[in-house]
Amino acid sequence: MRDASLSRALLYAVAFLLAFLYLIPLAVVLLNSLRTAEEIVQTSMIGWPRVWAFQNYTAAWADFCIAQTCSGIRPYMLNSALVTLPATLLSTLLGAVAGYAISLWRFKGDTWIFALVTLGVFLPEQMRLIPWTIVLRDVGLTNTLAGLVMIHTVQGLSFTTLFCRNYYIAIPADLMKAAKIDGAGFFRIFYRIVLPLSPPILIVTVIWQFTGIWNEFLYGVTFTTGTQQPVTAALIALSASVADVPQHGVQSAAVVIAALPTLLVYLFGGRYFVRGLTAGAVK
C-alpha cells in the first residue's frame, strides 16, 4: 500500500498547490485593500502592507466621494441589488416555465424558437447596446432601474431557458402521461411535479444570473444616471482618470465589498451548484 499512500500524498500536494495558485489574485487584492494609495504608488502594486490601512474599508463603504455624493459605494450596492434581485428572479421563473414548455409540452416551432433563444447566449452585449437604447426610449424606461431589470430579464431568458430545458428533458415521459391522465393541466403539472424537482437547476440559474447581472457594467453605466448607478459603475468611478493618482487602496477595498454578495453566493451555493449540475443540468 506504499504506492497508494504515495499517490495520495502527491494528490494532496497537487490539490494544495493549485488551491494556492487560485488564491493568489484574491490575496493581492486583499493586501492592497489594506495599503494606502501613497504606499502602493511609492512601492509596487504587489506587496505587504507597511501600515495596515483598515480605514480603506470605511472609506470605500461610506465616505468616498463620487461626484458630489460622499456616501461610498453603499447606495450603489443597493441599486445593484434592486436590479439584480428582480431580474434574477424574473428571468429564472420565466425561463423555468419556458424550458418546461419546450421540453415537456412540445409544440409547433419549439425547436426553432429554442434555437433562436439559445443563440441569444452568444450575442455580445456591445452589439445590443444601441438597439436597447432605442427600446428603452420607446417603452419610456430610459434612465430607470426598471429598464435595466427589463434588459437583464429578456437577455437572461436565453441562459435560463437553455439550462431549464436541458434539465427538464430528463423528466420521465411516464410521469407526465400519468399526470395528464389524471386531468392535470399545464400549470398544475408545473406546480405539482416539475417545480418540486427543480431546486437543483433553479439554484444553478439563480447563481448564474445573479453573478452575471451583479457584475455587469456597460448597460449599468449607460442606462442609469447619477446616484442610480450600479456598484460596478461606482467601482470604475473610484479608478480615477488619467489626471489622478489611482486610489488603489480604497478601490481594492471597494472591490472586495462589491464582490461579497457574489462570493457569498458561490461560497454557500457552490455545493448546491455542483449538486444541481449533477442532477442533470448538463444532459
Partner 1 sequence: MSHAAPSPARPLFAGLKRLPEFLVIWVPLLLSAGHVVVFTAWTTWISFTPSTLVPVDGWVGWRNYTNVLATRNWKIAFDNLLIFGAGFVILTALVGLLLAIIIDQRIRGENVLRSIFLYPMAVSFVVTGTVWSWLLNPGMGIQKLVNDWGWTSFRFDWLIDRDMAIWTIVIAGIWQSSGFAMALFLAGLRSVEADLIKAAQIDGAGPVRIYTRVILPTLWPIVIAVMVILLQFAIKTFDLVRALTGGGPGLATQLPALVVYDFMFQRGHLGRGSAAAVLMLLTLLGVLLPYGAWKYYQRRRDARA
Partner 2 sequence: MSRITRRTLLAATGAAAITPIAHAQAVKPRLTAISQWSAGSDGAAITALGKKFEEKGGTWQHSPVPGFTTEMMNKLRAQIMAGDPPACSQLKGPEITAWSKIAPTLNLDAIVAAAGYEKVVAPDLARLHKPGGKWAALPLQIYSTNMLFLSKRAMDKAKADKIPVTWADFNALAEKMKAGGVTYPIANGGTRPDDGQKFEAALAGISPAAYRAACMNLDEKALKGPEMKAAFAQVRKIADWMDPNTAAQHYSTFLSRFVAGDMGIMIQGGWAQGVLLNAGFKLDDFIIAPGPSDNGKPVFLLNADAFIFWQRKEADLQAGQKLMAELVMDPAIQTMYSQITGSIPVRTDVDLSGPGWSDGQRRTASALKEAVAANQAVLSLAHNMAQENGMTAAMIDVITEYVKNRSITPDQAVTRLAEAVEGAR
What 8-state DSSP symbol labels residue 122?
G
Q: Which amino acid is at 60?
A: A
Q: Which does 136 bind (CB under 5 to 8 A by kind): partner 1, partner 2, none?
A: partner 2
167, 201 in Cβ contact below 8 A? yes
d(Cα 84, Cα 92) in Å, to the nearest integer? 12
152, 224 in Cβ contact below 8 A? no
d(Cα 23, Cα 18) in Å, to the nearest integer? 9
Taken in order 113, 117, 123, 126, is the CA torsion positive or negative? positive
Residue from the set 173, 241, 242, 244 that interacts with partner 1 by CB under 8 A:
173
Q: Which does 238 bind (CB under 5 to 8 A by kind): partner 2, partner 1, none?
A: partner 2
Our finding on whether 81 is near partner 1 (CB under 8 A) is: no
* DSSP sequence for 235-267: HHHHS--TTS---HHHHHHHHHHHHHHHHHHHH
Q: How many CA atoms lie within 13 A of 181 on its CB side?
A: 6
Q: Which does 221 bind (CB under 5 to 8 A by kind): partner 2, partner 1, none?
A: partner 2
Nearer to partner 1, 133 or 227 (CB): 133
Nearer to partner 1, 17 or 65 (CB): 17
Q: CA dist 84 to 37, 134, 262, Å? A: 31, 22, 11
Our finding on whether 266 is near partner 1 (CB under 8 A) is: yes
Nearer to partner 1, 145 or 259 (CB): 259
Residue from the set 176, 184, 195, 197 that interacts with partner 1 by CB under 8 A:
176
Our finding on whether 37 is near partner 2 (CB under 8 A) is: yes
Total of residues contacting partner 2 (CB under 8 A): 41
Q: Which amino acid is at 35?
A: R
What 8-state DSSP symbol labels residue 176?
H
Our finding on whether 58 is near partner 2 (CB under 8 A) is: no
Query: Of the listed pieces 79-87, 104-112, 180-188, 242-250, which binds partner 2 according to CB under 8 A?
Result: 242-250
- 181-240: which residues touch partner 2 (CB under 8 A)? 217-218, 221-223, 225-226, 229, 233-234, 236-240
Q: Which does 242 bind (CB under 5 to 8 A by kind): partner 1, partner 2, none?
A: partner 2
Q: How many CA atoms lie within 13 A of 24 on its CB side?
A: 8
Our finding on whether 265 is near partner 1 (CB under 8 A) is: yes
Q: Which amino acid is at 56?
A: N
Residue from the set 6, 9, 38, 45 that interacts with partner 1 by CB under 8 A:
45
Q: Which residues bind partner 2 (CB under 8 A)?
A: 37-38, 41-43, 45, 64-68, 129-130, 133-134, 136-137, 142-143, 217-218, 221-223, 225-226, 229, 233-234, 236-247
